[in-house]
């Protein structure tokens, strides 16, 4: 599967009618992007959305970034994966992830005590799932949302590669070292195309602040303990401190991040 050198991760396609979202996918394809990545949280269901979006192009890949393993059981995920792949050969990439504790326990009501073990069991169950329908002509492709070394190694062993999200460029180098040269490493990087350092920091700060605000709202609404929000908040603060767009740094981030 060829996802190209550059793709776009966006939740904006959820904000417009599905027919219009499919048209936007065609526009992205015409602009030369190899893939469009869509999230799954409290908006559209990932597999359904991907199938609708794939109508909009002829070569561009639609990837889930990511579909939560807590949103459906492994048999349903395996069936959906094969169904969409059969309809759109070599154009659907399934990104799977364990999501976040706040979302899994606070919103979905599932147990998040052992996310790594849950992912291992989920992948094994997908591989063993029954599927009595016309199957795809090519092997369905999947990746994992992976940040730490264990999940990165699992993504290399059990899938096509890893999809790290919302991390600094230094993490990309570390992830590649962990994965080795073979597996695919598709990295989401937010790049501010602004040469003025003050403006760049202000724009980047707004982007990095959104997840923090969302966590605070969820914590107040669901009365979640502080420990469940600490790790994500710490990551956001680290990213905000590392926004140092100064002249050639924009070019460096693009080269290192992608």
Q: What is the pLDDT of residues 212-248, one digit of tens each?
A: 555 565 555 555 454 444 444 444 444 443 443 334 4
Residues 126 and 74 in one domain: yes
Residue closest to 72 by CA, chosen among 13, 128, 30, 126: 126
End-of-domain residue from the set 185, 219, 235: 185
Domain termination site, one of 139, 165, 185: 185
Q: Label residue 167 by pLDDT band (50, 70, 90).
A: confident
**Residue 236 and residue 131 in one domain:** no
Residue % of the chain over a pLDDT of 90: 71
Question: Is 256 a member of any domain?
Answer: no
Residues 177 and 201 in one domain: no
Q: Average pLDDT of the chain?
A: 86
pLDDT confidence tier of residue 207, bands split at 50, 70 and 90: confident
Q: Are residues 45 and 95 in the same domain?
A: yes
Contacts of 183 (CB under 8 A, 6+ apart): 155, 156, 159, 160, 161, 162
Q: Considering the domain boundaries, does residue 58 fall inside one?
A: yes
- Establish if 192 belongs to a structural domain: no
Q: What angle do CA 144, 145, 146 make, to 5 degrees?
A: 95
Q: Please say which residue of 157, 185, 213 terminates a domain.
A: 185
Same-domain check for residues 172 and 205 = no
219 lies in some domain: yes
pLDDT value at position 216? 60
Residues 164 and 56 reside in one and the same domain? yes
Instruction: Examine residue 52 and state whether it is found in any structural domain, yes or no.
Output: yes
Could you report the per-residue pLDDT of 150-166, keeping only the tens digit for each?
999 999 999 999 999 98
Euclidean distance between CA atoms 25 and 223, whole angstroms: 39
CB neighbours of residue 209 within 10 Å: 12
Question: Out of 92-106, 150-164, 167-181, 223-237, which region has the weakest mean confidence (pLDDT)?
Answer: 223-237
What percentage of the chain carries pLDDT values higher than 70? 81
Does a structural domain hold residue 1? no
Q: Which range has the worst mean pLDDT, 128-132, 155-159, 205-209, 252-256?
A: 252-256
Q: Using an 8 Å Cβ cutoff, are 177 and 154 in contact?
A: no
89-127 exposure pattern, b = at least 16 Cβ within 10 A, e = fewer: eebbbbbbbbbbbbbbbbbeebebeebeebbbebbeebe
Q: Are residues 103 and 35 in the same domain?
A: yes
188 contacts 7 by C-beta, under 8 angstroms: no
Same domain, 136 and 216: no
Domain count, the chain: 2
Mean of the pLDDT values across residues 110-122? 97
Q: How many C-beta neighbours within 10 Å does residue 249 have?
A: 15
Q: Does residue 66 register a pLDDT over 80?
A: yes
* Structural domain boundaries enclosing 227: 197-247
Name the pLDDT band for 104 (thresholds 50, 70, 90).
Answer: very high
Query: Do 180 and 217 share a domain, yes or no?
Result: no
CATH number for 77: 3.20.20.30
| 234 shares a domain with 135 | no
Which helix (H) or strand (E) segment holds residue 229: the answer is helix 227-241
Confidence bin at 210 (pLDDT 50/70/90): low
| 144 and 92 both lie in a single domain | yes
């Amino acid at each position: 599967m060829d996802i190209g050198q550059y793709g776009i991760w966006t939740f904006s396609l959820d904000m417009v009618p599905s027919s219009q979202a499919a048209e936007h996918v065609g526009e992205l394809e015409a602009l030369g992007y190899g893939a469009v990545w869509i999230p799954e949280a409290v908006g559209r269901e990932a597999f359904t959305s991907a199938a609708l979006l794939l109508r909009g192009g002829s070569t561009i890949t639609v990837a889930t970034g990511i579909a939560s393993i807590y949103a459906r059981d492994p048999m349903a995920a395996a069936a959906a994966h094969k169904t969409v792949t059969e309809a759109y050969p070599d154009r659907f990439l399934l990104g799977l992830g364990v999501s976040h504790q706040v979302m899994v326990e606070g919103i979905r009501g599932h147990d998040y005590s052992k996310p790594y073990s849950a992912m291992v069991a989920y992948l094994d169950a997908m591989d063993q799932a029954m599927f009595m329908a016309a199957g795809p002509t090519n092997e369905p492709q999947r990746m994992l949302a992976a940040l730490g070394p264990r999940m990165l190694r699992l993504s290399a062993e059990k899938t096509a590669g890893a999809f790290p999200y919302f991390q600094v460029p230094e993490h990309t180098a570390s992830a590649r070292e962990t994965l080795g040269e073979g597996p695919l490493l598709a990295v989401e990087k937010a790049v501010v195309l602004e040469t003025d350092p003050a403006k760049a920091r202000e724009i980047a700060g707004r982007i990095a602040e959104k997840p923090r605000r969302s966590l605070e709202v969820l914590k107040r609404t669901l009365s979640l303990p502080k420990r469940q929000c600490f790790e994500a908040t710490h990551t956001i603060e680290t990213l905000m401190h590392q926004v140092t767009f100064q002249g050639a740094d924009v070019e460096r981030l693009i080269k290192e991040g992608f």
